[in-house]
Structure 1
């Protein structure tokens, strides 16, 4: 098999790759999506399943993507074609499509974040309209989440992404994440220490860190697909990102250590996010299960208005969320850009501009109604990502197991025994959990189409 094009860009350092992969994983999935998933799925009960999923399913699945990417040295479509060929090539095309769908609504949410950074400075979401009326935070979100405001900031967010990616792997992506990722960790660490001093912190920690096993057993059908979708979403799995990033690696890299570092850092940021968000919510008396996809924009913003120096905390919080959103978005669009460069012969700048424009257009419907965010999110995170993961596991662990083991062993000094453990973990537990999660995710998607989305269509 090919090792890729010798003229293709590579990471200048191993740290650059790890930070880029961490930057891909650490994003809105951790800071926007994770808190509202925890809130909707019972707090610590969800955390237990999520952590188990990341360790037992997410890490082995990440190695699957690393193997394909490094062995071929190609974009997702070219990598799958080189690795297996035939009808399997369509799997690479599926990854490109997934990137389009996710980034289309991700960019709109990224635009919300930029708008909230501005709102934190001006105090636009602080206060109430009257003693018997809704908080300003709720009205503020309603005003900026859709319409021309949402469209404009969606365009601004995509413009920032396009500029960074157009500069290339080393000067754009790698340089950007070397600044972004440490900034995220530093600022959120400071915010977590501050949140510890808030009056509602003890209650928040109990909710967040003490699982209710009875609740977990009673609600596993909802929690399992949510944890699976969250795990794949936040680790950037099932969308070709890790295939693309690993394609820029040399053969002497230890994929196991790199993967463990990425998974550990990403999971730590998710947990750290909860240590910031939930004390803020509980201190302000806000129900953590409220708000859905708009949770951090309504609930957290409302809570910030009731905390001393809340505006400054808001600038730091939403500013960090904006950095994280950009770090993930550049990884998503790089999957599609690398395909255009390798397969279509388009220059990086031209590819980035054209693809960014297409993603912007696909995201326009999301600026019409916030229900579209939920529709896109369930379809992408709980169906498409899981389908991509299932097919890739079948391809690598069942059809090309010998090639996979040989590639994974490169750069690892002692690999005896570990290879078979990894292979059968991927073949059975990973595959079974993904299939069950897909079935439950499809049921949830159908239920949404028949319920909330049907009501939305009827209102048009």
Structure 2
């Protein structure tokens, strides 16, 4: 019979270690790869406005929900609900665990592409024909092998533990990402098309929002959840390793600010590059065209080989910092619930996730479906359930936990609880409806598998 493993749990060695780890989870492919191209696909600066509102008004309050559950429960995302006396809600943690597994399965495939593009940048092999190069590395044996290597690196870091693996890796990767992105952004200002890129990125047409509300809101909200790692139970797992003297609102605010800063920096790098080589239109066709457009841009820029190499190294660090958090969710559950060794569990879970992701190495249609299913369906449902749970069933525990280690007053806690009870669920229900509608349209029209 399964039993909760009661061995001494690891904790973060410092507050900054936790912040870097949580930022690492949030700062991933979603920020540096997906965000600029979601922006290009959904109206440029109009999407940016909706995304920033979603982060501030829905993302930050939801992050505090996961922090409260995690630190209060001091267990993995499934057991945490039982620990705080609401075992019937543990399925919500299970839903986050499932979302983490499914997301990492396709996320690792894209991480494999990044590895291939680092090699391609070093050798210059994609400069002659970016489309052909992408076709060669995104599907077939090369994609499977790169997917396996990326998962192996992820497994190795998680197997080393919370402090020896996750905290140590993210403490190196997050500063490196920031430094390299700032350097790339400074270089991008020298490009001839930089001004046009900045205008597209930073000058919103609010008419676009009004006329395309139903198509902009779901990806913007999903992007906010994805880039903040909300709905995956990641922040529940990470907060469970926190001490009582950490301020949840302060830590959450720092994570949201740094995460958003990285996403914005990515736009300041990508859009000048794209407009210097022909505009953003070529990058608005999805996962594949994003890589092809950037590869083509680097091939037409001075020092493009060096810039491409640096950019894809940044992308690799971002991808790994998120992938280790997604793997930590099932690993923490299995090790604590069944008492298995972390290293063995990391390998077994990683191999299983690798196998689930193999269909996405056959072509980008599977990856597109995985991505939309998570963005538009799984994450909104998980966030909705978390808001209902904290707002209406565990409000007393939540208010008490939010105040521990923090100087926030009663008015902040009261407003937060009211917001979680009302505004967050309403916004997420609207997003979920629009997302399901978009998924149905895509399936019925054959956009995914037609």
The answer, yes or no, to whether TM exceeds 0.5 is yes
State yes or no: 1:226 paired with 2:203.
Answer: no
For residues 53-452 of structure 1, the aligned pairs below 5 Å read: 53-127=54-128, 136-288=129-281, 289-452=283-446
Q: Which runs of 5+ in 1 are unaligned?
A: 128-135
Question: 1:93 Cα shift?
Answer: 1.2
What is the match of residue 42 of structure 1?
43
Give me the whole-angstrom Cα distance separating, in 1, the residues matched to 2:182 and 2:420: 34
What is the match of residue 23 of structure 2?
22
> Deviations for 1:184-210, whole angstroms, at most 9, x for unmatched residues?
000000000000110001000010000
Give me the whole-angstrom Cα distance separating, in 2, the residues matched to 1:424 and 1:413: 19
> Deviations for 1:33-89, whole angstroms, at most 9, x for unmatched residues?
111110110000000000011001100000000000000100000012223434312
> Deviations for 1:420-458, whole angstroms, at most 9, x for unmatched residues?
11011111111111111111111111111122446x35x
> Deviations for 1:76-106, whole angstroms, at most 9, x for unmatched residues?
0001222343431211211111111000000
Q: Secondary structure at the match of 2:78?
A: helix
> Deviations for 1:284-311, whole angstroms, at most 9, x for unmatched residues?
0043443311243111111111101100
What is the match of residue 133 of structure 1?
none
Give me the whole-angstrom Cα distance separating, in 2, the residues matched to 1:31 and 1:385: 20
Give me the whole-angstrom Cα distance separating, in 2, the residues matched to 1:453 and 1:43: 23
Give me the whole-angstrom Cα distance separating, in 2, the residues matched to 1:55 and 1:352: 34
Q: Secondary structure at the match of 2:243?
A: coil
Q: Aligned-pair RMSD on alpha carbons?
A: 1.2
Higher mean Cα deviation, 79-88 or 379-388?
A: 79-88
Query: TM-score, normalising length from structure 1?
Result: 0.95
> Deviations for 1:112-151, whole angstroms, at most 9, x for unmatched residues?
0000000001111113xxxxxxxx1111111111111100
Give me the whole-angstrom Cα distance separating, in 2, the residues matched to 1:290 and 1:66: 35
> Deviations for 1:375-410, whole angstroms, at most 9, x for unmatched residues?
000101111011000001100111111110000000
> Deviations for 1:233-283, whole angstroms, at most 9, x for unmatched residues?
000000100000000001111000000000000000000000000100000
CA contact (8 A) 1:5 1:74 kept: no
- How many residues get paired? 445
Distance change (3 Å), C-alpha of 1:226 and 1:74: same
Q: Secondary structure at the match of 2:70?
A: helix
Give me the whole-angstrom Cα distance separating, in 1, the residues matched to 2:269 and 2:285: 17
Q: Secondary structure at the match of 2:185?
A: helix
Give me the whole-angstrom Cα distance separating, in 2, the residues matched to 1:183 and 1:306: 26
Give me the whole-angstrom Cα distance separating, in 2, the residues matched to 1:241 and 1:40: 28
CA contact (8 A) 1:290 1:299 kept: no
Give me the whole-angstrom Cα distance separating, in 2, the residues matched to 1:452 and 1:182: 43
Query: TM-score, normalising length from structure 2?
Result: 0.97
Give me the whole-angstrom Cα distance separating, in 2, the residues matched to 1:387 and 1:138: 36
Question: 1:216 Cα shift?
Answer: 1.1
Give me the whole-angstrom Cα distance separating, in 2, the residues matched to 1:294 and 1:337: 31
CA contact (8 A) 1:291 1:298 kept: no
Question: 1:413 Cα shift?
Answer: 2.2
Give me the whole-angstrom Cα distance separating, in 1, the residues matched to 2:84 and 2:173: 33
Question: 1:323 Cα shift?
Answer: 0.7
